[in-house]
Amino acid sequence: MNSKSPETSPTNELHVDDVADGQRIDNYLFNKLKHLPKNQVYRLLRTGQIRVNKGRKKPVYRMKLGDIVRLPPSAIPAEPDQVRPINVPNQTVKLIKKAIIYEDNGLIVLNKPSGFAVHGGSGLSFGIIELLRTIYPAAPYLELVHRLDRDTSGCLMIAKKPSVLKQLHADLRGDGVEKCYLALLAGKWRRQGQIVNAPLKKNTLKSGERVVRVDPEGKASLTEFSLVEQFQRCCLVKAYPKTGRTHQIRVHAAHLNLPILGDDKYGNEVLDKEFRRHGLKRLFLHALSLKFVMPGTNKPMQVTAPLESSLEKVLENLREAHGKP
């Protein structure tokens, strides 16, 4: 009897079924090759040792029903179901458990703390998804539904079922999920609401750093902003990204000459130093809420992630020091 996984043939092939249809290949491989570090999976993809339908694919490639993924012998574990253990401090485990704001049999919503990447790689031994797999060792399935930047806090969805992941991915590609963020911008807001419709393109600098710029040749990107509270030298706004581009809110805010305070990539270093005296020590960008329809039930859902105390304190300090205009 063949002891390998049903999806793995003697020639080290994985056959994509309807569950994985539409899933990014990197996320698909992270689930199948849990014994490998994330950076090794990326290296195998980059060097062409992992192939799809005999061709190379980038990590963003979305799997299609019937695709055949060819793995090199080095990627096959001696025990297919063995998961590489990670050493996680108890304090970190407690922090992530406490950050769970919603859970049912198909979905987890986490109030992600700032400073945590959503997954390991690029020098990080673990991220949120690895932490959750450690917290839920018996869970048969845990996958990120979407991503947040490392320094951004707030609502992050993790699917506990392939069907939930597939439906929410489809909703995210359309207009089925409403995301609302809170951001503190440097400068004065000139109107109650504003829509930024500016295409975004990823660029790589000579230093190797990756940045996103407004560029006519970029991908269509749309963000709605509305004023929440105006201070003398900054403003608190809500941001509703209608597309899901990398660093979208951060770049669109900078495009308005109102960069997010604490943004070390697109912000204003001089202003950031000034606002540190008000207690701001991180990017002031928080995924406040998500509205969506729960897969399988058609039940309207809204989840809200409370603003962390350090950011609440910044707002209190600003109200005392700056006051209203």
CA pair distance 290, 309, nearest whole angstrom:
20
Please provide the distance, in angstroms rounded to a whole number, between the alpha carbons at the two ends of the chain.
Answer: 76
CA pair distance 306, 302, nearest whole angstrom:
13
Using alpha carbons, select from 262, 242, 235 the residue that is nearest to residue 250: 262
Burial class from Cβ neighbours inside 10 Å (0-12, 13-18, 19+) for residue 135 reads middle
Of 26, 67, 149, 272, the active-site residue reads: 149
- What is the helix (H) or strand (E) element at residue 179, kind and residue range? strand 178-186
- Residue 175 among the catalytic residues: no
- DSSP-based three-state secondary structure for 26: helix
Q: What is the distance, to the nearest Å, from the Cα of residue 20 to the centroid of all Cα atoms in its chain?
A: 19
Using alpha carbons, select from 232, 224, 235, 238 the residue that is nearest to residue 196: 224
The residue type of 198 is A
Using alpha carbons, select from 5, 210, 11, 42 the residue that is nearest to residue 120: 42
Active site residues: 149
